[in-house]
C-alpha cells in the first residue's frame, strides 16, 4: 500500500498538473485534507509534511481531534451536514464552515461565535442537482443567504461549496462545476470578501480545478479508503 507521504506528493502532483493544464497560476488551488474517520496521528504526519488545513464531517469526532492536536498550527474546516443543535460547538471549535444552507444556521452561528475569536469563515453550500440530493440551498437562494452573512460581524462570507452527485465522465463533471463557477462569479461581483470556491474531491478534482475551484477537498486519495459506515 502507498504511504501517506507518497499519497500527499501524488495529490499535489495532480493539483499542479490540473492547474497547469487550465492555464492557472501555481498554488491558486489549495488542498483541504479531509480527515473524517482517520486518526489524529495521520493528521500529525500530514502536518509534518506542511499540510495546515483539515476538514471534518462529524462534530464530536472533529472536536476530539482539534483538542488532541491543539499544539499544532492547524486550520479546521467543518464540511458535513449541520444539525442546528450543533452550531454552538461548530462556532466555538472550527475556523471555517462549508455547509451553511439556511438562514437559521446563519443566525445561530452568528450569535454563538465566541467574541474572542476572529470571524468564522463561511461558505454557502449549493445544491446543483435539484431534488436528487438534500444538502445545499437552491441557486436562487444564494444571494439572500449571502446578505444575511454579510450582516453578521462574527461571520465572514468567503464563497461557495458544492458536492455534485458523482458523474463518471469528465465532460459531465466539468459541466456541473462550470455551473457552480458561474454562480460563484455572480456572488463575487456583489460581495468583495468572496475568494473561495470549494469544489472537487478525490475522483473529480481535475474537473473542479479546470472550472476554477480554489479549494479541493481530498479524503481517500490522501488517507486511503474509509471503512464504510
Ligand X SMILES: *Cc1c(COP(=O)(O)O)cnc(C)c1O
Contact, 111 vs 132, CB < 8 A? no
Residues 119-138 that bind ligand X (CB under 6 A): none
Query: Which residue of 163, 187, 207, 213 would you call a contact of ligand X, by CB under 6 A?
Result: 163
Query: Which residue of 33, 79, 120, 180 would you call a contact of ligand X, by CB under 6 A?
Result: 79
Query: Which residue of 155, 199, 207, 218 would you call a contact of ligand X, by CB under 6 A?
Result: 218
User: In the bound complex, what is the minimum distance in angstroms from residue 41's beta carbon to ligand X?
Assistant: 19
Q: Which is nearer to ligand X, 130 or 225 (CB)?
A: 225
- Select from 112, 111, 108, 82 the least CA-distant residue to 97: 82
Q: Would you count residue 14 as binding ligand X (CB under 6 A)? A: no
Q: Which is nearer to ligand X, 150 or 203 (CB)?
A: 203
User: In the bound complex, what is the minimum distance in angstroms from residue 36's beta carbon to ligand X?
Assistant: 6
Q: Which is nearer to ligand X, 60 or 115 (CB)?
A: 60
User: In the bound complex, what is the minimum distance in angstroms from residue 57's beta carbon to ligand X?
Assistant: 5
Contact, 37 vs 227, CB < 8 A? yes
**Residue partners of 209: CB distance under 8 A and separation at least 6:** 15, 18, 19, 22, 24, 29, 200, 216
Residues 42-71 that bind ligand X (CB under 6 A): 57
User: In the bound complex, what is the minimum distance in angstroms from residue 34's beta carbon to ligand X?
Assistant: 4
3-state DSSP percent of the chain in helix, strand and coil, to 5: 45, 15, 35
Q: Which is nearer to ligand X, 29 or 34 (CB)?
A: 34
**Residue partners of 88: CB distance under 8 A and separation at least 6:** 108, 112
Rounded to 5°, angle at Cα 160 from 114 and 183:
145
Q: Which is nearer to ligand X, 42 or 154 (CB)?
A: 42
H helix or E strand, kind and range, residue 56: strand 53-56
Q: Would you count residue 34 as binding ligand X (CB under 6 A)? A: yes
Contact, 33 vs 53, CB < 8 A? yes
Q: Which is nearer to ligand X, 14 or 181 (CB)?
A: 14
Alpha-carbon span 185 to 182, nearest angstrom: 5
Q: Would you count residue 201 as binding ligand X (CB under 6 A)? A: yes
**Residue partners of 58: CB distance under 8 A and separation at least 6:** 36, 80
Size of the site for ligand X (CB under 6 A): 13
Which parts of this chain interact with ligand X (CB under 6 A)? Answer: 34, 36, 57, 79, 163, 201-203, 217-221
Amino acid at each position: 500500500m502507498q504511504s501517506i507521504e507518497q499519497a500527499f506528493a501524488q495529490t499535489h502532483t495532480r493539483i499542479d498538473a490540473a492547474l497547469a493544464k487550465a492555464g492557472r497560476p501555481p498554488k491558486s488551488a489549495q488542498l483541504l485534507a479531509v480527515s473524517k474517520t482517520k486518526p489524529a496521528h495521520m493528521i500529525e504526519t500530514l502536518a509534518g509534511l506542511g499540510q495546515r488545513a483539515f476538514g471534518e464531517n462529524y462534530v464530536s469526532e472533529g472536536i476530539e481531534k482539534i483538542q488532541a492536536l491543539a499544539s499544532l498550527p492547524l486550520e479546521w474546516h467543518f464540511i458535513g451536514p449541520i444539525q442546528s443543535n450543533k452550531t454552538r460547538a461548530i462556532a466555538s471549535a472550527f475556523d471555517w464552515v462549508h455547509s451553511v444552507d439556511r438562514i437559521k444556521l446563519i443566525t445561530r452561528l452568528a450569535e454563538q461565535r465566541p467574541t474572542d475569536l476572529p470571524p468564522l469563515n463561511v461558505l454557502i453550500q449549493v445544491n446543483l442537482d435539484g431534488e436528487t440530493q438534500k444538502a445545499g440551498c437552491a441557486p436562487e437562494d444564494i444571494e439572500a443567504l449571502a446578505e444575511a452573512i454579510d450582516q453578521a460581524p462574527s461571520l465572514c462570507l468567503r464563497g461557495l461549496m458544492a458536492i455534485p452527485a458523482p458523474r463518471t465522465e469528465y465532460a459531465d463533471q466539468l459541466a456541473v462545476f462550470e455551473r457552480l463557477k458561474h454562480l460563484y462569479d455572480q456572488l463575487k461581483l456583489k460581495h468583495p470578501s468572496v475568494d473561495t470556491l470549494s469544489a472537487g474531491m478525490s475522483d473529480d478534482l481535475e474537473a473542479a480545478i479546470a472550472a476554477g475551484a480554489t479549494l479541493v477537498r481530498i479524503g481517500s486519495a490522501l488517507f486511503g479508503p474509509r471503512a464504510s459506515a
